[in-house]
Amino acid sequence: MTHQVYTIPHEENWWTRYFSFKQLLTEYPAVGEMYSDLKLKLAKEYPANIPAYTAAKLPFVATATSIAFDKYGTAKADDETIEQVHSGIHTCFQDEIKIAMLSQDEKISNI
């Protein structure tokens, strides 16, 4: 398979979460690179199993989305995302993402 097509219900909260996540990845290229590397790794692990691929990248996406909510204040996390992040399931990427963001912010402030 070379392409995937997604259909998404028109829900304001979903789009706000999506754009917050994308804004984080755009503003912090190191975080975007982490996500890209993860997706490439998972695509090799689950070449024909899209549900497993999606489930495996959820910890990164949920953590990054939670951080984006805190940073941009553009949306409130839905109950499911809050529950997943606060239950500790998705904290595995939190330090890595925040270190990448801090590193870039320090570089910018030193210019």
**pLDDT confidence of residue 89:** 45
**pLDDT confidence of residue 27:** 87
pTM over 0.75: no
Helix locations, the chain, DSSP H: 12-27, 29-45, 50-72, 79-86, 94-109
Residues 80 and 57: their CA atoms lie apart, in Å, by 16
**pLDDT confidence of residue 19:** 80
Domain range summary for the chain, segments of one domain joined by +? 29-109
Q: Report residues of the chain scoring pLDDT below 50.
A: 85-89
The encoded tokens of residue 28 equal: 């912090």
Looking at residue 94, the DSSP 8-state letter turns out to be H
**pLDDT confidence of residue 45:** 95
